[in-house]
A = this chain, B = another copy of it.
Amino acid sequence: MITLAVDCMGGDHGVAVTLPACRQFLDTHPHAQLLLVGRPEALGALVHERTRVVAASQVVGMDDSVEVALRRKKESSMRVAIEQVRDGAAQAALSAGNTGALMATARYVLKTLDGIDRPAIATQIPNVLGGATTVLDLGANVDCTAEHLLQFAIMGSALVSVLNDDPHPPIGLLNVGEEAIKGSEVIKQAGELLRAAAARGDLNFVGNVEGNDIFKGTADIVVCDGFVGNVALKTIEGLASMIGGFLKEEFSRTILTKIAAIVAYPVLTALKRRMDHRRYNGAALLGLRGLVFKSHGSADALAFEQALVRAYDAARNDLLARVRVQVARAAPLPVARDTVL
């Protein structure tokens, strides 16, 4: 039996999305049980033999600052869900709450693993190979040293080895060109650390990759700092949304284009399915002494269910132990300088 602690109140839609997703997930996962964390009066819509309500009186808002979440909302559903993992009552926690608050709370409650300076957020982006490229970090760490990037690579490798059942998934370093001499000073140093780690057999480092390689699937894991990762992810979301809007607009322009839309419907549906980011919902917070997953705040029930599946698979395959082992094997990691200008 795998137990997940679910922050049922988080995200843009709260229980309207999380509870139907939990029900659907339970139906397809007979070996899972869920701790439904939130205000008990809001959780009545889901009664199931494999759920248990864990009361939490507060909710972290999507716009709450890290300070508010940490200091004034100690009874939040987000925090109580993470505490279930700390206390051993659940093997993983999931929240659609705001990223900054979730990362800060998870770090405060669970602490980081030995050898890890900063936890990272890893997400999956669909690629042309029909699979997905795992990109990290995505927003948690804006000023990174080369050592931080090495740690991200190690954690990403552990995650993908679980996801893809491949002990040595290929890792690329996001850069402005393939040549080792390219890039900023930090990136060049990170390249050296990664090559050294690969030479020791700790990692399968394939070298520098560029932005378009995320979609080509050149490497299973793409490592970058949180600033670059966040910009890349938001750029992807912006372009996908613009193209979707263009398609809708062009197909609804005249009666003829509306007919074309009907004829092309199966094709457009297939395209939408291939591009559907909901299938890849569920980012992993890596480097903590416990498993925490983050759903997109605007997730619908299907997307939230996917994030539940992701958290379940990670717990079932003991991702935490894999990260620990890979971090320890690569130890002693160089000590990271804490700030860079």
Could you tell me the dominant secondary structure of chain A's interface residues? helix
Task: Flag A101-133 by CB within 8 Å of B: 1 or 0 each.
Answer: 000000000000000000000000001100000
Q: Which residues of B sit under 8 angstroms from A235, Cβ to Cβ?
A: 211-212, 214-215, 232, 235-236
Interface residues of A in 245-268 (CB under 8 A from B): 245-247, 250-251, 253, 256-257, 259-261, 263-264, 266-267
Query: How many A residues face the partner with a CB closer than 8 A?
Result: 60
* Beta-carbon contact of A212 and B234 below 8 Å: yes
Minimum CB distance partner of A183 in chain B:
B142
Q: Oligomeric state, in number of copies? A: 2
Q: Which residues of B sit under 8 angstroms from A211, Cβ to Cβ?
A: 230-238
A271 at interface by CB-CB < 8 Å = yes
Q: Which residues of B sit under 8 angstroms from A127, Cβ to Cβ?
A: 242
A174 at interface by CB-CB < 8 Å = yes
Identify A260's interface contact among B185, B215, B238, B266, CB under 8 A. B266
Q: Which residues of B sit under 8 angstroms from A316, Cβ to Cβ?
A: none
* Beta-carbon contact of A210 and B184 below 8 Å: no
Q: Contacts A215-B242, A228-B227, A231-B224: A271 and B259 contacting too (C-beta < 8 A)?
A: no
Minimum CB distance partner of A141 in chain B:
B184
* Beta-carbon contact of A176 and B128 below 8 Å: no
Shortest Cβ distance from residue A15 to the other chain B in the assembled complex, whole angstroms: 27
A68 at interface by CB-CB < 8 Å = no
Q: Which residues of B sit under 8 angstroms from A253, Cβ to Cβ?
A: 267, 270
Shortest Cβ distance from residue A252 to the other chain B in the assembled complex, whole angstroms: 10
Q: Which residues of B sit under 8 angstroms from A213, Cβ to Cβ?
A: 238
Minimum CB distance partner of A267 in chain B:
B250
CA distance A231 to B256 in the complex (A): 39
* Beta-carbon contact of A176 and B264 below 8 Å: no
A169 at interface by CB-CB < 8 Å = no
Minimum CB distance partner of A256 in chain B:
B266
A341 at interface by CB-CB < 8 Å = yes
A1 at interface by CB-CB < 8 Å = no
Minimum CB distance partner of A238 in chain B:
B212
* Beta-carbon contact of B340 and A242 below 8 Å: no
Shortest Cβ distance from residue A205 to the other chain B in the assembled complex, whole angstroms: 19
Q: Which residues of B sit under 8 angstroms from A187, Cβ to Cβ?
A: 142, 227
Q: Which residues of B sit under 8 angstroms from A256, Cβ to Cβ?
A: 266
Of A187, A233, A250, chain B has the most CB atoms within 10 Å of the CB of A250
Q: Which residues of B sit under 8 angstroms from A260, Cβ to Cβ?
A: 260, 263-264, 266-267
Q: Which residues of B sit under 8 angstroms from A185, Cβ to Cβ?
A: 143, 339-341
A213-B238, A232-B235, A243-B243 given; 10 more Cβ-contact pairs under 8 Å: A143-B184, A183-B227, A211-B231, A247-B267, A256-B266, A259-B263, A260-B260, A260-B266, A263-B263, A264-B267
Residues of A participating in the B interface, judged by any CB pair closer than 8 Å: 127-128, 139, 142-143, 174, 176, 182-187, 210-216, 224, 226-228, 230-243, 245-247, 250-251, 253, 256-257, 259-261, 263-264, 266-267, 270-271, 274-275, 339-341
